[in-house]
A and B are shown apart, each in its own frame.
Chain A
């Protein structure tokens, strides 16, 4: 019944990365993509929050701070469903390797911390196929904060959980909010068997482990001649 607990039957492979902001997951996925391309494969990349269908609504809701935990969760589920139907299932069915930057586990962690019921969030996403490999990049809060603050311009309201009123300044709120998300990720990693990577190691060191696991996942992958670059 729960598709997240049973392997899918599509000829393609689904590889996802998870982790809080500043965990370095996107960098690792990018490098993994290069690796696959160099092998002559044509990986298909997709990231959360990219569907036009609800992009404008989410943006407006965030700006007005009118999103509740429930509407935040449902809007993202809508977005995910759109992305699944348009960007994930077709390449999977066509036998391609799909690389996804964030998957349902992001919602499982984030929405529960916002106040949605744990079980409900899992049921809402029941339609999602189980990834063939899900990496979780585990990083301590302080490392993630310093990476974010040194790199990008500034933290965003919802990313820092400002809607929860945990703290008045954004950095403290971010730490508290993302700290709770880390706790959720820890139990999700156990519950769904995610592959945990210590994200404080060097980028190259992490990538080596990632590539090792990708090779393992692709052992039974049959490349259709048509899919080769």
Chain B
């Protein structure tokens, strides 16, 4: 097995891609971990990244509001509660577009595994929960590269509450307070998160998410992730550089 056997495939986009974005030469893989607030996503992602790197895969991780262009501006705007649902969705789209062109696409062209801590599905769910049109949201995020694998760390709203409270807070946006979902923080949080989970379940069916029961022990979750990632990478003949060396 040689390094050249690494898959060189086409870039596939969620919808209308910009004519100037690349079509050929996608050498890497895009793996997404989705899930509501407090489901343990980020911890799992860190462990997965380290495990992949041990095997010799080059990995970069990315996540919302990490773009150089608007990352901080989104945080600031949320601080001031000055975002309307349209500007909310559009700013997040700008954030992803900036990361797409300066980070995700270049990394995929160079053969990296890109691990995304949430992706467009979070924004589709949040947008729909804020009554932004479903079709509009899909068109808006049409430029996004289609992920190769999407994990969905699944929790019911009843499992979510203690976790979020233990973490110290129900925050304004996680509670959907901008949309007046309920009378107080708790009611609003419950109604908003219930809606989000419902939207995630719909998206999961449509896009074929790999569902993971997030109530399990974190180590058990990680084992499942690794198992499925391995199975996927084997199936598309994307060998780890480490395993090549050991075969010699």
A187–B19 alpha-carbon span in the complex (Å): 20
Chain A positions within 8 Å of B87 at CB level = 53, 78, 81-82, 85
Establish whether residues B20 and A54, one from each chain, have CB atoms under 8 Å apart when the complex forms: no
Question: Looking at chain B's contact residues, is the secondary structure mostly helix, strand, loop, or mixed?
Answer: helix
The size of the chain A interface, using a CB distance under 8 A, is: 29
B23 lies within 8 A of chain A by Cβ: no
Are the C-beta atoms of A75 and B16 separated by less than 8 Å?
no
Could you mark each residue 127-168 of chain B with 1 if its beta carbon is under 8 Å from any beta carbon of chain A, else 0?
A: 000000101100110110000000000000000000000000
- B19 and A54 within 8 A (CB): no
- A119 in the interface (beta carbon within 8 A): yes
Which of A66, A70, A75 sits near B18, CB closer than 8 Å? A70
- Choose among A66, A69, A78, A116 the residue that contacts B68 (Cβ–Cβ < 8 A): A66
> Given A53-B77, A82-B87, A127-B136: A71 and B98 within 8 A (CB)?
yes
Judged by DSSP, the binding face of A is helix
Q: A124–B73 contact, CB under 8 A?
A: no
A229 at the interface (CB under 8 A from B): no
- Nearest residue in A to B100 (C-beta to C-beta)? A70
Question: Quick one: closest B residue to A122, CB to CB?
Answer: B139
User: Is B97 a contact of A57 with CB atoms below 8 Å?
Assistant: no
What residue of chain A has the Cβ atom nearest to residue B90's Cβ? A78
A38 on interface, CB distance cutoff 8 Å: no
Of chain B, the residue at the smallest CB distance from A60 is B69
Q: In the complex, A66 Cα to B102 Cα: how many Å?
A: 9
List B contacts of A124 (CB < 8 A): 90, 139-140
Binding site for B on A (CB under 8 A): 1, 53-54, 56-57, 61, 66-71, 74-75, 77-78, 81-82, 84-85, 115-117, 119-120, 123-124, 126-127
